[in-house]
């Protein structure tokens, strides 16, 4: 293994509760009685699916205005609710110091990915590439985003390790022919294993140990 590809929401930052709260608030303001828990089944699938499926659930019609409002509110207020995972920044800096190629591959649009990364005590320029949902036509669970990430960092797919917190993301990494590590921030160990995760961890300390073994 030579390189690591990270999902962002739920992996590099604990942002899923913040996004669900903001999205529900925006929809409530438009007369859609969405609740934060409504969004859980669509974690990792990109905002059009994540938001659109909940709008449809309540008989509404999804449009770009809803997504733009969610992003605006997320950047203005939601970032205040984002939490950091213990050990994440240390691991990223350790990997960067070891000259391990790293990329971010998120189904979210670039504007949200950058907002998330801004809260980390880690220079995002140390990522060889940052791929967002608007860089690909087909979102996770399709393999497109991880294949593009491998191409951008000039690595073979089979030499890459994917870090994911969602079923759709694990499925995407497996379809791309990559080793996958599931992080239990939003899904259970069983859900991630059933999706095909090669390893499942509960903490970044476990994750770093496994990565160092795979990267030897």
Give me the pLDDT at residue 161, please.
98
Averaged pLDDT score across all residues of the chain: 96
Q: How far is CA 200 from CA 11, 85, 130, 189, in A?
A: 13, 16, 24, 6
Q: Which residues are catalytic?
A: 7, 9
Query: Is residue 181 classed as helix, strand or coil in its secondary structure?
Result: strand
pLDDT band at 99 (very low <50, low <70, confident <90, very high): very high
- Which of these CATH numbers, 3.40.720.10, 2.30.40.10, 3.40.50.1000, 3.40.50.1370, describes 3-14+83-214? 3.40.50.1000
pTM: 0.90
Check pLDDT > 90 for residue 13: yes
Percent of the chain scored above 90 by pLDDT?
Answer: 95
Q: Does domain 16-81 sit in CATH 1.10.287?
A: no
Task: Kindly list the domain boundaries of the chain, sorted by start residue.
Answer: 3-14+83-214, 16-81
Residue 6 sits at φ, ψ, to 5 deg, of -105, 135
Peptide bond before residue 213 is cis, with ω within 30 degrees of 0: no
Check pLDDT > 90 for residue 216: no
């Amino acid at each position: 293994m030579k390189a690591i590809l990270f999902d962002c929401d739920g992996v590099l930052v604990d942002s899923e509760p913040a996004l669900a709260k903001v999205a529900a608030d925006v929809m409530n303001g438009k007369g859609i009685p969405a609740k934060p828990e409504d969004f859980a089944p669509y974690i990792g699938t990109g905002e059009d699916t994540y938001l659109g499926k909940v709008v449809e659930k309540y008989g509404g019609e999804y449009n770009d205005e809803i997504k733009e409002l969610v992003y605006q509110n997320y950047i203005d207020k939601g970032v205040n609710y984002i939490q950091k995972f213990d050990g994440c920044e240390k691991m990223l800096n350790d990997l960067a110091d070891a000259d391990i190629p790293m990329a971010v591959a998120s189904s979210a649009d670039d504007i949200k990915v950058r907002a998330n990364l801004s809260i980390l005590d880690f220079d995002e320029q140390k990522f060889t590439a940052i791929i967002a949902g608007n860089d690909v036509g087909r979102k996770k669970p399709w393999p497109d985003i991880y294949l593009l990430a491998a191409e951008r960092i000039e690595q073979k797919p089979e030499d890459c390790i994917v870090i994911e917190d969602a079923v759709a993301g694990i499925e995407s990494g497996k379809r791309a022919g990559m080793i996958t590590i599931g992080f239990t921030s939003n899904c259970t160990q069983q859900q991630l294993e059933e999706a095909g995760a090669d390893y499942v961890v509960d903490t970044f300390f476990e994750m770093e140990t496994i990565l160092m073994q795979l990267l030897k």
